[in-house]
C-alpha cells in the first residue's frame, strides 16, 4: 500500500479537486464535520445530564469526552453509510433535525427516545402533536441544526468517481466504527458502570437513539401486522348465570388516560380531587383499589396489554400477537362496544363495533373534533339500542376510552366551570409554569375525570334502578405521569427505570346489587382486599370472571375479584 503524504490525505478528503477552490469539499469534511457537531452541540442534554450526575470534574470530563468520541465515531460510520450523491444531504439534514427535535423534547419533558417512545410518537394524531408544539421547538431546531444545515446546503460535497467512492465509504464506515470501539475499550470501566447505573443514557445519544429505535420498531412491527392474530378463548361460552336471567348484565370499562394514583383523592392525596367518587364510596358500592401497577408507561403499550390474555412478563407489553379480551367477550355471545375520545384504540377494538366521540361533535362538549370526556355519554342509550339485539339481550360490555389527563395541555381537559384548583398552567412548556400551577392544571383534569365517572355511575345506577340491566363499572388508568419530579415531565420512561408516578395508577370498581348478586361478590371482602397489589395483568381474567364467561383462557389465579366471589373459579 502506498503511503500518502499529508497533502494527499487532504486531497483524499476532497478539499480541492479542481473547479473553483473552496466551492466544494469532499464528503470526508462533511461527514466528520457533522459527526463532531452532532457529538457536541447535538447532544447537549446528554452532556448536561452526565455533568449533573456527580463525581469530580475530571471524572465527568473523562466520561463526556469518552462518550462524545463514541457518539462521533458512531455518527460518522452512519453518515459514511449514507454518503452517496442525492442521498447524503437529505439524510444528513434529517439526522440533524432529529437531533434538534430530540434535544428539545429531552430539555422540555425529560423524555428519552427509546423504541416504545418512538412507536408511541408514530401513533399519536395531529391533535396530540399540536399540543406538544411550542415556539421553542423551531428555536431548538435552529440552534442545534441551523449552522450545519446552512453549510451543508450551501456547498455540495464533491463526489468523485463511483468505484473509489465505494471504497472510500467502506473505509469511512470502518474508521468510524474503529474510533467507537477503541474509545469504548479505553474508557470501558467508566462508561460501563455509567451505563449500568444510568440506563436512560442509552437512549439519550442523538441521533443514534432514533436510528436504533426506528430499526427496532420497523423490525418488530412490519412482519406482525401482516400476520393474523392468534385466536384466544375459542371455547368461550356464557356461564350458568345467563340461563333464565331477569336482566342482562351491562358492564362499563373506563380506560383512563395519564391519571396517576398519587393525585387521586381516594388514595389519600392532600387535595380532594375525587369528591364524587368519595360519595359513591361512602354509600357503599364503590371500591377503590389503591395499589395498582400499569403494564407500560405509555398508551401504545398499556392499552393493548390491559386487554391482552398475556401478563406483562409473558409479553403482554409487546405488540400483540393474540386476540384480546373484547374478542373473547364477543365470541361468548355478548354485545361489545368501544367508544373512543382519544387517538384510537391501538388495534384493540378492530373486530368489535366502535365509534369516536369526535365524529359527532356534541355542542358545548366538543370543539372541532376534540371533546370533553362527558361527550362519551352523549346518546349512549341509542348507541346501545343500536347493537345486535340478540347479543345485547344476553349482556353488554361498553369500553370508554377517555382523554382523561392527557398532557401537556392539561388545562384543556376540563371546562372553565369545573376547575376547582386555580390559577392553572396553560402553557405546553410545562417547565415554564410554576409548579403549583402545573399541579393545579393536572388536578383539575383528575377532578374532571371524577365528574365524568360520577355521570357514568349515575347513568348506570339509573339503568339498574329501572330494571333494564344489572350494571357495573371498572375504571383503571393506562399509565401515570411525571409532573416535574426529578426533572421529568409527561410519561413514557422505559419501564425498567420508570418512576413510581408513571406506573402506579388509580382503579375503582362499582357494582349494582343485581350484578353483585349475579357474580356472588362480597363487597366487604373486596374492601378488605382493596389495598392488595394488583396490576393490568389481572384485568383480562377479572372481567371474564365478573361477566361469567367460561373459557380455558381465563386463569382463576389471576382474577383479582374471584377471592371475593361465591363461585370462585
Binding site for Zn ion (CB under 5 A): 257, 299, 478
CB neighbour list of residue 116: distance below 8 Å, 6 or more residues apart: 296, 297, 298, 300, 301, 492, 494
End-to-end CA distance of the chain: 77
CB of 90 to Zn ion, least distance (A): 34
CB of 48 to Zn ion, least distance (A): 28
Fill in the DSSP letter of residue 318.
S
How many whole angstroms separate alpha carbon 92 and alpha carbon 235?
54
CB of 407 to Zn ion, least distance (A): 10
DSSP-assigned beta bridge partners for residue 473: 252, 510
Between 327 and 478, CB nearer to Zn ion: 478
Nearest alpha-carbon partner for 210 in 122, 115, 138:
115
CB of 135 to Zn ion, least distance (A): 26
CB of 190 to Zn ion, least distance (A): 37
Angle between helices 299-307 and 539-546 in degrees, nearest 10: 40
CB of 305 to Zn ion, least distance (A): 12
Helix (H, G, I), strand (E, B) or coil at 537: helix
Which residue do the cell numbers 423490525 mark?
219
How many whole angstroms separate alpha carbon 207 and alpha carbon 74?
10
Between 257 and 317, CB nearer to Zn ion: 257
- Our separate counts of H helices and E strands in the chain read 21, 14
CB of 478 to Zn ion, least distance (A): 4
CB of 226 to Zn ion, least distance (A): 26
Between 102 and 297, CB nearer to Zn ion: 297
Give phi and psi for 494, each to the nearest 5: -50, 135
Give phi and psi for 251, each to the nearest 5: -115, 130
DSSP-assigned beta bridge partners for residue 509: 287, 474
CB of 297 to Zn ion, least distance (A): 9
Long-range CB pairs of 14-22 (<8 Å, 24+ gap) are 14/157, 14/158, 14/160, 17/158, 17/160, 19/158
Between 478 and 559, CB nearer to Zn ion: 478
Between 194 and 505, CB nearer to Zn ion: 505
Measured CA distances, 160 to 79, 99, 151, 296, 498 (Å) = 17, 29, 20, 50, 50
DSSP letter for each residue of 130-152: HHH--THHHHHHHHHHHHHHHHH
Count Cα neighbours of 156 within 13 Å in the Cβ-side half-sphere.
9
Between 299 and 449, CB nearer to Zn ion: 299
Region of residue 404 (left: phi > 0; alpha: psi -120 to 50; beta: else): left
Between 32 and 489, CB nearer to Zn ion: 489
CB of 250 to Zn ion, least distance (A): 25
Nearest alpha-carbon partner for 302 in 378, 220, 401:
401
Between 32 and 264, CB nearer to Zn ion: 264
Between 124 and 471, CB nearer to Zn ion: 124
- The residue number whose beta carbon is nearest to Zn ion equals 299
Between 200 and 478, CB nearer to Zn ion: 478
Between 403 and 519, CB nearer to Zn ion: 403
How many whole angstroms separate alpha carbon 518 and alpha carbon 205?
56
Between 478 and 537, CB nearer to Zn ion: 478
Residue 287, exposed/middle/buried by CB under 10 A (0-12, 13-18, 19+)?
A: buried
CB of 479 to Zn ion, least distance (A): 5
CB of 299 to Zn ion, least distance (A): 3
Give phi and psi for 511, each to the nearest 5: -130, 135
Amino acid at each position: 500500500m502506498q503511503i500518502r503524504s499529508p497533502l494527499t490525505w487532504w486531497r483524499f478528503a476532497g478539499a480541492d479537486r479542481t473547479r473553483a477552490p473552496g466551492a466544494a469539499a469532499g464528503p470526508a469534511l462533511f461527514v466528520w464535520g457533522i459527526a463532531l457537531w452532532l457529538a457536541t452541540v447535538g447532544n447537549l442534554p446528554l452532556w448536561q445530564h452526565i455533568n449533573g450526575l456527580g463525581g469530580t470534574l475530571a471524572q465527568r470530563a473523562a466520561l463526556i469526552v469518552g462518550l462524545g468520541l463514541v457518539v462521533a465515531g458512531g455518527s460518522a460510520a452512519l453518515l459514511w453509510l449514507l454518503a452517496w450523491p442525492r442521498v447524503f444531504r437529505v439524510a444528513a439534514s434529517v439526522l440533524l433535525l432529529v437531533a434538534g427535535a430530540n434535544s428539545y423534547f429531552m430539555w422540555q419533558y425529560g423524555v428519552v427516545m427509546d423504541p416504545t417512545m418512538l412507536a408511541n410518537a408514530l401513533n399519536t394524531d395531529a391533535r396530540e402533536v399540536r399540543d406538544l408544539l411550542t415556539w421553542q421547538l423551531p428555536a431548538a431546531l435552529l440552534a442545534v441544526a441551523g449552522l450545519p444545515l446552512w453549510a451543508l446546503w450551501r456547498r455540495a460535497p464533491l463526489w468523485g468517481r463511483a468505484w473509489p467512492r465505494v471504497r472510500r465509504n467502506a473505509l469511512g464506515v470502518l474508521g468510524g466504527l474503529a474510533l467507537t470501539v477503541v474509545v469504548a475499550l479505553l474508557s470501558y470501566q467508566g462508561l460501563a458502570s455509567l451505563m449500568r447505573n444510568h440506563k436512560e443514557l442509552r437512549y439519550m445519544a442523538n441521533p443514534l437513539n432514533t436510528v436504533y429505535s426506528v430499526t427496532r420498531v420497523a423490525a418488530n412491527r412490519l412482519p406482525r401486522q401482516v400476520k393474523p392474530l392468534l385466536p384466544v378463548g375459542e371455547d368461550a361460552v356464557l356461564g350458568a348465570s345467563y340461563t333464565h336471567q331477569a336482566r342482562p348484565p351491562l358492564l362499563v370499562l373506563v380506560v383512563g388516560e395519564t391519571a396517576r394514583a398519587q393525585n387521586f383523592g381516594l388514595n389519600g392525596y392532600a387535595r380532594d380531587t375525587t369528591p364524587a367518587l368519595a360519595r359513591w364510596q361512602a354509600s357503599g358500592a364503590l371500591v377503590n383499589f389503591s395499589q395498582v401497577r400499569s403494564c407500560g408507561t405509555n398508551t401504545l403499550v398499556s392499552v393493548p396489554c390491559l386487554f391482552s390474555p398475556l401478563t406483562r412478563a409473558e409479553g403482554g407489553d409487546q405488540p400483540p400477537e393474540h386476540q384480546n379480551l373484547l374478542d373473547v367477550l364477543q365470541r361468548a355471545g355478548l354485545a361489545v362496544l368501544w367508544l373512543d375520545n382519544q387517538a384510537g384504540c391501538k388495534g384493540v377494538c378492530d373486530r368489535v363495533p366502535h365509534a369516536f366521540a369526535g365524529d359527532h361533535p356534541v355542542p358545548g362538549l366538543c370543539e372541532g373534533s376534540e371533546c370533553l370526556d362527558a361527550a362519551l355519554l352523549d346518546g349512549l342509550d341509542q348507541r346501545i339500542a343500536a347493537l345486535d339485539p340478540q347479543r345485547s339481550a344476553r349482556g353488554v360490555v361498553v369500553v370508554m376510552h377517555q382523554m382523561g389527563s392527557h398532557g401537556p395541555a392539561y388545562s384543556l381537559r376540563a371546562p372553565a366551570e369545573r376547575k376547582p384548583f386555580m390559577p392553572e398552567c396553560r402553557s405546553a412548556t410545562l417547565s415554564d409554569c410554576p409548579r403549583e400551577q402545573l399541579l393545579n392544571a393536572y388536578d383539575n383534569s383528575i377532578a374532571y375525570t371524577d365528574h365524568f365517572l360520577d355521570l357514568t355511575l349515575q347513568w348506570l345506577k339509573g339503568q339498574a334502578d329501572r330494571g333494564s340491566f344489572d350494571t357495573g363499572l371498572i375504571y383503571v388508568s393506562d399509565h401515570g405521569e411525571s409532573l416535574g419530579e426529578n426533572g421529568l415531565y409527561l410519561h413514557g420512561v422505559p419501564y425498567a427505570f420508570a418512576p413510581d408516578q408513571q406506573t402506579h395508577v388509580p382503579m375503582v370498581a362499582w357494582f349494582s346489587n343485581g350484578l353483585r348478586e349475579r357474580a356472588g361478590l362480597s363487597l366487604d371482602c373486596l374492601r378488605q382486599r382493596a389495598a392488595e397489589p394488583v396490576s393490568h395483568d389481572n384485568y383480562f381474567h377479572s372481567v371474564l370472571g365478573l361477566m361469567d364467561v367460561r373459557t380455558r383462557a381465563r386463569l382463576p389465579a389471576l382474577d383479582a375479584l374471584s377471592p371475593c366471589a361465591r363461585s370462585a373459579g
